[in-house]
Structure 1
Amino acid sequence: MIWNIPNILTVMRLFAAPGVAVMFLYFNRPWADWFALLLFSAAAITDFVDGYLARAWAQETKFGAMLDPIADKAMVVIALLVITGFSGMNPLILLPATIIIFREVFVSGLREFLGAKAGLLKVTKLAKWKTTVQMVAIAVLFASGMFEHSLVSGVAGMDAALVDQIFAGEIEDDFNIVRAYWGEFVTWHAGVALLWGAGLLTLITGWDYFAKARPFLKENDDDA
């Protein structure tokens, strides 16, 4: 184990993964959404930085190569569980999240089964794009949760007629509920679209890994 800067960043990203969930245990919303968004975004940035520094400084290590995908998967899976929870198990979130989590577990199990031959399942450019889209989708959905909670808090105690007047511009919007509404509307639809795009990339890359591993799975069957 070598403690260079790229590896330290990777370890920090790994510990940031459960930290996203912890934000919702110790802080009330929308502060929890804000802190989760900032923590997740900062950790996602390190995913690019640590790899770039490792290559630029010739500090690529086996420890970093092993831990990097684990940190990525931990971040994505834990964040998706949190988002699925505060979305009320919305099918538009639940289905792509299930696809993504299933694929991550499946590929991890495939790598473990292949053992020394797992090197054939090298990370492809499309898989890197998949991870990027996943992280952007999650960040946008955290922002959506923040706007949603602000909107709910802003209209608390108001009747429907008063809300309609605010949206019509007849009454001053002292609680910024119109901005919260449009912020939630845009980020929700963008986040869902990105998450479904990530789900599609997840299926494609998962099938690609399985296709590459099939000859070796057959070989193992014959040997058995």
Structure 2
Amino acid sequence: MNLNLPNILTILRLAAAPGVVLMFLYFARPYADWFALILFVLAAFTDFLDGYLARAWKQESKLGAMLDPIADKAMVIIALVVITGFSNMNPWILLPATLIIFREVFVSGLREFLGDTAGTLKVTNLAKWKTTAQMVAIAMLFASGAFEHYFGMQSRELSPEMVELAISGDGPDALGLWWKYQGMMVSWWGGIIMLWLAAVLTIVTGWDYFQKSRPYLRDTDT
């Protein structure tokens, strides 16, 4: 195995996937949300960096080719499980997350079955956009969780009328509820839109891979 820098970055990204869960086990919210967001963004950046360095330095390897998609899928699936959990199984998140996880498992099974012919399922540009949409959505939803927790903690002792005046800008806002509420709503709806976009791209690319694999799934007459 060739442990060059691109491969080390890929291994670190793979290790960061369960690290997202550890943030919520060992830190209280909203710190856990921020730490998970930072860890996820750094790991997502290595997804671009390791591939770029491998091509630029001509250090592409079988180890990197094997680990890269595993690290991507582990990072996305584990993060989606965490987000689904702290959203209390919100259907706006649960449904697209289920579609994404189902597709990733399905395509991984196809690749395993195809074995040496799995090269027919090369990563397309649309699949790269799918991965980008997934990572942007997850990052925004982690940020939304942090804003929501801040907003909930600081508005707990206030009356509903005072909270309404603060977020509408018509009353005193010593706690900064207005910008916390805006951050919560923008990151929430932005994350939801990107997650549904990712789910659509996930299904489209999954169907494309299935169509490409169909010739290898036919039984031959004996």
Q: TM-score, normalised by structure 1?
A: 0.96
Using the TM superposition, give the Cα deviation of residue 222 of structure 1 relative to its aligned residue in structure 2, in angstroms.
2.1
Q: 1:172 to 1:62 in 2, by over 3 A?
A: same
**Equivalent in the alignment of 2:11:** 11
**Equivalent in the alignment of 2:38:** 38
Cα shift readout 1:134-193 (whole Å, capped 9, x = no counterpart): 001100111111111111011012111222332354543222111111111111111000
For residues 100 and 168 of structure 1, the distance between their equivalents in structure 2, rounded to whole angstroms, comes to: 37
Q: How does 1:83-162 map to 2 (within 5 A)?
A: 83-162=83-162
Q: Is the 8 A contact 2:169 2:178 kept in 1?
A: no
Q: Which runs of 5+ in 1 are unaligned?
A: none
Using the TM superposition, give the Cα deviation of residue 223 of structure 1 relative to its aligned residue in structure 2, in angstroms.
5.9
Cα shift readout 1:86-125 (whole Å, capped 9, x = no counterpart): 1110111000000000000000001111111111111111
Q: Is the 8 A contact 2:167 2:181 kept in 1?
A: no
Percent identity of the aligned residues? 65
For residues 180 and 199 of structure 1, the distance between their equivalents in structure 2, rounded to whole angstroms, comes to: 28
Find the partner of 2:220 among 195, 210, 222: 222
For residues 118 and 4 of structure 2, the distance between their equivalents in structure 1, rounded to whole angstroms, comes to: 26
Cα shift readout 1:58-88 (whole Å, capped 9, x = no counterpart): 0000000000000000000000001101111
Query: SS of the residue aligned with 1:222?
Result: coil
Using the TM superposition, give the Cα deviation of residue 208 of structure 1 relative to its aligned residue in structure 2, in angstroms.
0.5
Q: TM-score, normalised by structure 2?
A: 0.97
Count of matched residue positions in the alignment of Structure 1 and Structure 2: 222
Which 4+ residue blocks in structure 1 deviate beyond 4 angstroms?
168-171
| Higher alpha-carbon deviation: 68-77 or 178-187 | 178-187
For residues 209 and 29 of structure 1, the distance between their equivalents in structure 2, rounded to whole angstroms, comes to: 39
Q: Which runs of 5+ in 2 are unaligned?
A: none
Query: SS of the residue aligned with 2:3?
Result: coil
Cα shift readout 1:189-219 (whole Å, capped 9, x = no counterpart): 110000000000001100000000000001x
For residues 195 and 138 of structure 2, the distance between their equivalents in structure 1, rounded to whole angstroms, comes to: 7
Cα shift readout 1:34-67 (whole Å, capped 9, x = no counterpart): 0000000000000000000000000000000000
**Equivalent in the alignment of 1:69:** 69
For residues 43 and 151 of structure 1, the distance between their equivalents in structure 2, rounded to whole angstroms, comes to: 27
**Equivalent in the alignment of 2:82:** 82
**Equivalent in the alignment of 1:49:** 49
Which amino acid counterpart does residue 222 of structure 1 have in structure 2? T
Query: SS of the residue aligned with 2:144?
Result: helix
Which amino acid counterpart does residue 8 of structure 1 have in structure 2? I
Which amino acid counterpart does residue 157 of structure 1 have in structure 2? E
**Equivalent in the alignment of 1:198:** 198
For residues 167 and 216 of structure 1, the distance between their equivalents in structure 2, rounded to whole angstroms, comes to: 58
**Equivalent in the alignment of 1:175:** 175
Which amino acid counterpart does residue 123 of structure 1 have in structure 2? V
